[in-house]
Chain A
């Protein structure tokens, strides 16, 4: 219980409140006591002046008479005349604490006394000034300060009450605010436990008040959403791997088996072995592509970003593919704006572009008068568009989201070579560079062979 944040916070608040209250009360009492002290002294001084006047006029007898007269008046004023031996001969005090009359001037601290006519044990506190008379007698004029002590007592009482109220308040704050917050944190940790147990669809509770807890829940939920999507992606990839790698592995195995039992002799065995090596190479290529995509998606290549001459890169790629395209009866046209540089990873960009051209060469070859355009241009907003446009069969609008997924190929029969990973990599590379891969018809509205415009829209220099 003591370990909970709410209790600790309440205790801290209570402590601070109490400290402030004590300081405040102390300040107020010291000021009011000081003021009363001054007033007491003033009254005593004015009494002394009156008494002194009567002494000057009537000598010791006049003084005693005045004291006797004033002693009979009701009030808090005290008077006493004492003989050098300390005997009280006039005034309204029955006894005075010993030693008070020995020192002349102001009594430094309040002293005890009993009033004439009061019971013997009824002591009061007073302040006084003592004056020595010429014949060794002493005159004391003072004032009871019981009133002052009463005020101090009242203030002290008020302080205790205030503290009690604050304690109750702190308890209430803890109960209503702290415990509520605590309970919400408990809910959150409960939900996290469920999530840790493997239920990634769980979300942290959101109360809708938009407070700190809600904001925390919302960002944690967003994080969970991302984790869930990544997890889902991972699961899909493993399913894909299981399916798409099992097929070629089975084929490889079958070939080996066929080679073992082949009747065709050495030549047939040789051919089967060569075919198996080619199959293995294809498998390795698939593995590498998969690894590369997951690494690019994880963003681990960001460390190797540098300034890339995209124009040069596009020219090189076009030039690399131009003979292949020509051999396949395709004319490859390069429309490359000069001097475009972006911040990126040269190798990944080169591979992405080469994947796009590769696809175009593969799929455009069947179209009549086929043509591929590799274009690089600046678009509005500083964007750079690197595009490969062909006039092949294109990608139907409803499949465009699918084809960037791993192992998805439109060509169900898989008659064309390829891993089904090319566009996934392009997509990942574009995303790594803060851009995107856009797929569209090259000739919108065309009935047959609308072509494909694959555009990497990348952020340019900023």
Chain B
């Protein structure tokens, strides 16, 4: 995977590049809006990380112009502004995801991996998700493991659906809150963990292999085998 980071703070950019490379991602870097836009329009990337406030040209205008040219490379906006309205304007300008500074690198990595693999990942049209012997039918909303039907509450179903859609990827707690509950803030209590453990008891209790793993310091991942 190859991404472009447009970030004017050199220290942050250097840290991000190093961390992404360690995670096996190729990184290009631009430190202002103009060169960032140039690189993004000349090369093909799997995802862009764009700081909202940049010298010469602001992040949102870069995204709008790329979108206007028909470029649909997934974009993650990084911003020091973090309130509800800022996120809405960011997404409206054509951003695909929005992360507020300061953030944990594991959160950024998880989101970039999902954005960057979006093209090759399970599409929305796919009607059945499979992880190991776990099967989720998106038409009948039925979940089976080893052929045995597992009854789930609607919210548990959506939680599992999101995890399975991004199987093999780390999904953070914040991402779950955003996509399953449409909450864009962190509740103080760790509500997600309890929901996960409930779901886990339903899909794993009587079956052998654990599929829903906890990724320490990051989140959760659905994965079969190993």
Residues of A with Cβ closer than 8 Å to B?
Answer: 274, 277, 280-281, 284-285, 288, 291-292, 295, 300-301, 303-304, 316, 319-321, 323-324, 327, 345, 347-348, 350-351, 354-355, 358, 361-362, 417-419, 422
Establish whether residues A327 and B194, one from each chain, have CB atoms under 8 Å apart when the complex forms. Answer: yes
| 3 cross-chain pairs, A with B, having the tightest CB-CB distances, nearest first | A323-B194, A347-B84, A351-B185
Residues of B with Cβ closer than 8 Å to A?
Answer: 82-85, 88, 100, 102, 104, 155, 181, 183-191, 194-195, 198, 217
Establish whether residues B187 and A274, one from each chain, have CB atoms under 8 Å apart when the complex forms. Answer: no
CB distance from A260 to the nearest CB of B (A): 21
Cα A56 to Cα B102 in complex, Å, equals 127
Cα A354 to Cα B189 in complex, Å, equals 10
Q: Which of A280, A316, A323 has the most CB of B within 10 A?
A: A323
With both beta carbons as reference points, the residue of chain A lying nearest to B180 in the complex is identified as A320
Q: Indicate whether A304 sits within 8 Å of B84 (C-beta atoms), given known contacts A274-B217, A319-B155, A354-B183.
A: yes
CB distance from B178 to the nearest CB of A (A): 11
Cα A417 to Cα B181 in complex, Å, equals 23
Q: Indicate whether A320 sits within 8 Å of B187 (C-beta atoms), given known contacts A295-B83, A327-B194.
A: yes
26 contacts between A and B (CB under 8 A): A280-B102, A281-B104, A285-B186, A285-B188, A291-B83, A292-B83, A301-B83, A301-B84, A316-B181, A319-B155, A320-B181, A320-B187, A320-B191, A321-B191, A324-B190, A327-B194, A345-B84, A347-B84, A351-B183, A351-B185, A354-B185, A355-B188, A358-B187, A358-B188, A361-B189, A417-B188
With both beta carbons as reference points, the residue of chain A lying nearest to B106 in the complex is identified as A277
Q: Indicate whether A324 sits within 8 Å of B189 (C-beta atoms), given known contacts A274-B217, A288-B100.
A: yes
Q: Which of B82, B88, B187, B217 has the most CB of A within 10 A?
A: B187
| A-B contacts besides A321-B191, A324-B191, 16 pairs, CB < 8 Å | A277-B104, A284-B102, A295-B83, A300-B83, A303-B85, A304-B84, A304-B85, A319-B155, A320-B181, A324-B190, A345-B84, A347-B185, A350-B185, A351-B183, A358-B188, A417-B188
Establish whether residues B189 and A350, one from each chain, have CB atoms under 8 Å apart when the complex forms. Answer: no
Cα A303 to Cα B89 in complex, Å, equals 12
Cα A277 to Cα B105 in complex, Å, equals 11
